[in-house]
Amino acid sequence: MKINLNGEIVFASTGGRNFELKGEPIWFIHGSGQSHLSFMLQGRFFANRGWSVIAADMPSHGLSSGVPLDTIEAMSDWHIALMDSLGVEKVQIVGHSQGGLIGLDLAHRYTDRVSRLSLVATALSIPVNDNLIDMAKNKEPAAIKAMIDWGHGSEGHSHDHTMPGQNHLNYGVQMMAANKSGALHADLKACVNYDNGQSAAAMITCPTQLIIGQQDKMTPLKFGLKAAEALKTVNVTIVENAGHMLPSEHPEEVNRALRPFFTKS
């Protein structure tokens, strides 16, 4: 659905079902240079099982207009503004990669708006190498290709797919290329500049969960495990043979881990 937020258009996928506010919505937050499409198979799965689902495109991503936000905190504030405009008081967050950093910040600074936090392929900080940031600025298509290449595990690179006939790597490239130019660079800078993850994690009190890809090269397993330690969570799922793009590469394992974590009204 399309929402007008401060004069800009925000697109939010509702999992293919009309949005109806029931209980605390599952609130998906996409990663750097991604969009609502990275959660397609999660959104549809939960919406078809009676949850209210929102997977919003942040400004300049997917089908949303506006200029890209440049700090994790600004992104959190934007999500709160979107919740306000939809009359949503509290959400159950699923954050992928950079979306996980936003989730940490939201759960820490807006304790009364977040009831549960699931972190998928993320860490307490995401140091991005200078080369990639530079490419994102000056050679965006090359940066996209590198991220898609590094982001996928063995399934993506074998060109096999759970959805018959589809291709992870080429889809990933086109999905990222459909964002407005500059969005990826702003995201990567925001990730690099966020260094509050450790202290945020120490103060988060809501139930948390981690889903980590064993072959993740972008937010490697050991950093995911460190985040679990800082959050004192025992709810950790390690998905074998999975890379960073877990939600699309291993949707069934991700959905299986997410489902018992959420509450339903």
Partner 1 sequence: MTGDYKFNTLSLHAGFTPDERHGSAAVPIHQTTSYVFKDTEHAAALYNLEVGGHLYSRISNPTVAVLEQRVAALDCGIGAVATSSGMAALFVTVLALCSAGDHIVSSSQMYGANINLFQHTLSRYGIETTFVAPNDPNAFAAAIQPNTKMVFGEVIGNPGLDIMDITVIGKIANDAGVPLVIDATFNTPYLLKPIQNGANIVIHSLTKWMGGHGIALGGIVVDGGNFDWGQNNRFPTLTESHFGFQGVNLYEEFGPAAFITRVRTEGMYNVGPCLSPTNAFHLIQGIETLGLRMERHMSNTKKMLDFLLHHEGISWVKHPTLPDHPDYEVAKRLMPKGAGSVIACGVKGGREAGQAFIENVKVASHLANVGDAKTLVIHPGSTTQSHLSPAAMKSAGLTDDMLRISVGLEDFEDLQADFEQALRSAAKI
List residues near partner 1 by CB under 8 A.
11, 13, 16-17, 35, 37, 40-41, 44-45, 48, 62-63, 149-150, 153-155, 157-167, 169-171, 174-175, 177-178, 251-252, 255
User: Which residue lies nearer to partner 1 by CB, 103 or 153?
Assistant: 153
User: Which residue lies nearer to partner 1 by CB, 157 or 222?
Assistant: 157
Cα(210)–Cα(257) distance, rounded to whole angstroms?
Answer: 9
What tokens does 196 get? Answer: 């509050």
Overall size of the chain counted in residues: 265
Q: Nearest 5°: CA angle at 240, between 238 and 244?
A: 75
User: Which residue lies nearer to partner 1 by CB, 159 or 222?
Assistant: 159
Q: C-alpha distances in angstroms, 160 versus 26, 40, 130, 221?
A: 29, 18, 32, 23
CB of 171 to partner 1, least distance (A): 4
CB of 45 to partner 1, least distance (A): 5
User: Which residue lies nearer to partner 1 by CB, 13 or 208?
Assistant: 13
CB of 160 to partner 1, least distance (A): 5
Q: H or E element: which one contains 23? A: none
Cα(33)–Cα(109) distance, rounded to whole angstroms?
Answer: 24
CB of 48 to partner 1, least distance (A): 5
**Would you say the C-alpha torsion 87, 207, 101, 144 has a positive or negative sign?**
negative
CB of 6 to partner 1, least distance (A): 22
